[in-house]
Amino acid sequence: MDVPSYQFLAYVAISAILINLSSRPAWRRFVFLISSVAFIFFFTRDPLQLAPFAGMLAFGFVGAKVLETQKRHWLFVGIVVAVVIAFCWLKRYSFVPHQLWLSGVYFTVGLSYVFFRILHLVIDSYQDALPESVGFWSYLGYTLNFTCLVSGPIQMYPDYRRTAWARPAALDAAVAGQAIERIVLGFFKVAAISPLLGFAQQWCTNEVLGAGFEHRILLGIASLVLFPVYLYVNFSGYTDFVIGCARFLRLELPENFNAPFSAKGFIDLWTRWHMTLSNWLKTYVFSPLLIALMRRFPSRKAEPFLGVIANFVTFFLIGAWHGQTSEFLMFGLLNGLGISGNKLYQMLMTQKLGRPRYQRLCDNPFYEALSRGLTFLWFAVCLLWFWSTWGQIGALARLLGPAGIAGVVTTTLILAGTVLWITSVAPRAQPTRLARVAWNTALFVLLFSATVVLKAPAAHIVYRAF
């Protein structure tokens, strides 16, 4: 079943009706668990294809339960390492020998997001950080949450527990109206806007091969700029859709985006982009690593630089998580360099100018526009290794040449900085309720026309691949 799709909406509607038949927590948990398990069988009906996925789920649950009572550090490390190895094995990372890969087709949809939930429960069980002992049915309901199984967002267990049965999210007319607006907007972004942006970006990339020098620069700029916008529209649209759907099931999923292109620096960008992933890594990678480094090097002067190292490692792992190839390792390396370089720059400027003078510099309109432009440019460059191969990047670099590359980079910097600064200072009027209803009705008519009348292909979610 595709998400988003009209079939998924129908499935959510049936589940929501059943869940809201009773206010008893046990009933809601039961219906939601059945809905989540049944959802998996839309992807495969062969039990053998589900065996590896089920094995990883079972190991995660046993590991978490063992660590609730057995607080041995070596046991904790062993279980965490085993979960990571199992994930890499099932995802067929390139460093795993091909001879060890499982043969045949097996279920992997949502595996990366389930992996994060399992590790969260294992680590928090060991640290006694969970509000209660996690039962088997609660564990399955949380890890298999069908509203965010395919591509997240990554919700922590206490938040899931709170709205799953302890204090279900409100569902009155106002909330339902807002949820419908998010569903329509998200579906429209994924099914209508995202394909157009993706096609335009791919067309520009292909046309570079046969264009003259001046046109190559223009097409190179368009190709570089369009992909981050396409990725944002695609993934944020999916997130809007599932958050809206979850509200009818009395669940509140965490937000995953907060105007990321308004960021003034690379650190700021990653506090606004795929926020649940960033927060998970901050909690379970960055903070423990920083604490370990501070214990190893207990110096007040070294502490800020240890933070730079911890930031680099954390965001390098983001790239490694995204894919199994060397391109994604490069993606992680560039993200790590962007984050650590941004942090180091902030430290050095604060030391040189002092905090008040540095803040005044940051508030300067020209400096702010430059910061926004550089942030977008670096992110777009990082994403080159997200959507293309080494061979494609090399071919584009040879076609453009040093002068062309310089033209693409400079123009993108100026264009992005100018546009993003103007949009940041432009006044924003709050639409009336009537205007919002009219707008969403128009979006739905356009969406229905594109997806049903014109029989457009099913919406493609980029992050489903991870």
Per-residue confidence in pLDDT tens, the chain, 466 aa: 888 999 999 999 999 999 999 888 889 889 999 999 999 999 988 889 999 999 999 999 999 999 999 999 999 999 999 999 999 999 888 778 888 888 888 998 899 999 999 999 999 999 999 988 999 999 999 999 999 999 999 999 999 988 776 677 788 888 999 999 999 999 999 998 999 999 999 999 888 877 777 788 899 999 999 999 999 999 999 999 999 999 999 999 999 999 999 999 999 999 999 999 999 999 999 999 999 999 888 888 888 889 889 999 998 888 778 877 888 889 999 999 999 999 999 999 999 999 999 999 999 999 999 999 999 999 999 999 999 999 989 988 888 889 989 999 999 999 999 999 898 877 777 788 788 888 888 888 888 887 776 676 777 888 887 7
Q: Are residues 226 and 343 in the same domain?
A: no
Cα-flanking dihedrals φ and ψ of residue 442, to 5°? -65, -40
Q: Is the residue at 282 inside a domain?
A: yes
Q: Are residues 398 and 265 in the same domain?
A: yes
Using the 3D structure, point to which of 139, 166, 193 is the last residue of a domain: 166
Q: Yes or no: say if 119 and 107 are a contact pair by the CB < 8 Å rule.
A: no
Q: Is the residue at 327 inside a domain?
A: yes
Using the 3D structure, point to which of 138, 166, 194 is the last residue of a domain: 166
Q: Yes or no: say if 24 and 65 are a contact pair by the CB < 8 Å rule.
A: no
Q: Are residues 112 and 94 in the same domain?
A: yes
Q: Are residues 91 and 161 in the same domain?
A: yes
- C-alpha to C-alpha distance for 127 and 154, rounded to whole angstroms: 20
Q: Is the residue at 401 inside a domain?
A: yes
Q: Are residues 270 and 284 in the same domain?
A: yes
Question: Which pTM value belongs to this model?
Answer: 0.94
Cα-only R_g, the chain: 24
Using the 3D structure, point to which of 150, 166, 182 is the last residue of a domain: 166
Q: Are residues 122 and 247 in the same domain?
A: no
Residue 215: count of CB within 10 angstroms of its CB: 12
Q: Are residues 329 and 405 in the same domain?
A: yes
Q: Is the residue at 283 inside a domain?
A: yes
> The domain containing residue 442 runs over which residues?
173-257+429-465
Q: Identify the H or E element spanning 90.
A: helix 73-90
Angle (CA) 284-289-291 rounded to 5° is 105
> 314: which 2 tokens?
């954390």
Q: Is the residue at 214 inside a domain?
A: yes
Q: Yes or no: say if 131 and 158 are a contact pair by the CB < 8 Å rule.
A: yes
Q: Is the residue at 410 inside a domain?
A: yes
Q: Are residues 156 and 250 in the same domain?
A: no
Q: Is the residue at 1 inside a domain?
A: no
Q: Are residues 264 and 209 in the same domain?
A: no
- C-alpha to C-alpha distance for 322 and 334, rounded to whole angstroms: 13
Q: Are residues 42 and 148 in the same domain?
A: yes
- C-alpha to C-alpha distance for 243 and 240, rounded to whole angstroms: 5
Domain total of the chain: 3
Q: Are residues 252 and 266 in the same domain?
A: no
Q: Is the residue at 323 inside a domain?
A: yes
Instruction: Tell me which DSSP letter residue 91 carries.
Output: T
Q: Which CA distances in Å does 313 have to 177, 255, 268, 289, 290?
A: 42, 25, 17, 9, 10
Q: Are residues 32 and 107 in the same domain?
A: yes
